[in-house]
Structure 1
Amino acid sequence: MTKPILELRHVVTKVNRNTPEELTLLKDLNLTINEGDFITVLGSNGAGKSTLFNTIAGSMPLTSGDILLRGESIVRESEETRTRFLSRVFQDPKLGTAPRMTVAENLLLATRRGERRGLLPRHLKRHMPEFKQLTSGMGNGLGERLNTPTGNLSGGQRQALSFLMATLKKPDILFLDEHTAALDPKTSRELMQTTNDRITAENLTCLMITHHLDDALKYGNRLIVINDGKITFDVSGEDKKKLTQEDLYGFFGEIE
Structure 2
Amino acid sequence: MTKSTLELKDVKTTVKTADGEIIPILKGINLKIKSGDFITIIGTNGAGKSTLFNTIAGSLKPDSGQILHDGQDITKMSEEKRTQFIGRVFQDPKMGTAPRMTVAENLLLATNRGKKRFLKIRKLKENIPHFKEMARVMNNGLENRLNSFVEGLSGGQRQALSFLMATIERPDILLLDEHTAALDPHTSENLLAVTDKQIKENKLTALMITHHMEDALKYGNRLLVLKDGRVKVDINEPEKKKLKVSDLYAYFDD
| TM-score normalised by structure 2 residue count | 0.97
What amino acid does structure 2 have at the position aligned with 1:131? F
| 1:240 partnered with 2:251 | no
> Cα deviation per residue 1:77-133 (whole Å; 9 max; x = unaligned)?
101000001000000000010000000000001111210122211000110000111
Indicate the residue corresponding to 1:139 in structure 2.
Answer: 139
Deviates more, 1:108-117 or 1:212-221: 108-117
Indicate the residue corresponding to 2:50 in structure 1.
Answer: 50
What amino acid does structure 2 have at the position aligned with 1:196? D
| Long gaps (5+) in structure 1 | none
- Partner secondary structure for residue 251 of structure 1: helix
Indicate the residue corresponding to 1:112 in structure 2.
Answer: 112
Q: Which runs of 4+ in 1 moved over 2 A?
A: none
Indicate the residue corresponding to 2:249 in structure 1.
Answer: 249
Indicate the residue corresponding to 1:39 in structure 2.
Answer: 39
Q: How does 1:118-137 map to 2 (within 5 A)?
A: 118-137=118-137
Q: How does 1:187-226 map to 2 (within 5 A)?
A: 187-226=187-226
Do 2:61 and 2:76's aligned partners in 1 also have CA atoms closer than 8 Å? no
- Partner secondary structure for residue 84 of structure 1: coil
Q: How does 1:147-186 map to 2 (within 5 A)?
A: 147-186=147-186
| 1:83 partnered with 2:87 | no
| CA positional deviation for 1:15 | 2.3
Supply the distance in 1 between the matched residues of 2:35 and 2:139 (Cα, whole angstroms).
Answer: 29
- Partner secondary structure for residue 119 of structure 1: coil
Supply the distance in 1 between the matched residues of 2:42 and 2:137 (Cα, whole angstroms).
Answer: 29
| CA positional deviation for 1:16 | 3.1
Deviates more, 1:69-78 or 1:188-197: 69-78
Supply the distance in 1 between the matched residues of 2:216 and 2:120 (Cα, whole angstroms).
Answer: 43
RMSD of equivalent CA atoms: 1.3
Do 2:48 and 2:226's aligned partners in 1 also have CA atoms closer than 8 Å? yes
What amino acid does structure 2 have at the position aligned with 1:246? S
- Percent identity between matched residues is 60
Supply the distance in 2 between the matched residues of 1:125 and 1:207 (Cα, whole angstroms).
Answer: 34
Residues paired across the two proteins, number: 252
Supply the distance in 1 between the matched residues of 2:71 and 2:36 (Cα, whole angstroms).
Answer: 17
What amino acid does structure 2 have at the position aligned with 1:14? T
> Cα deviation per residue 1:154-180 (whole Å; 9 max; x = unaligned)?
000000000011111100000000000
| CA positional deviation for 1:252 | 2.2
Supply the distance in 2 between the matched residues of 1:76 and 1:22 (Cα, whole angstroms).
Answer: 20
Supply the distance in 1 between the matched residues of 2:53 and 2:188 (Cα, whole angstroms).
Answer: 22
> Cα deviation per residue 1:168-226 (whole Å; 9 max; x = unaligned)?
11000000000000000000000000000000001100000000111100000000000
- Partner secondary structure for residue 66 of structure 2: strand
| TM-score normalised by structure 1 residue count | 0.96
Supply the distance in 1 between the matched residues of 2:244 and 2:204 (Cα, whole angstroms).
Answer: 25
Supply the distance in 1 between the matched residues of 2:186 and 2:20 (Cα, whole angstroms).
Answer: 46
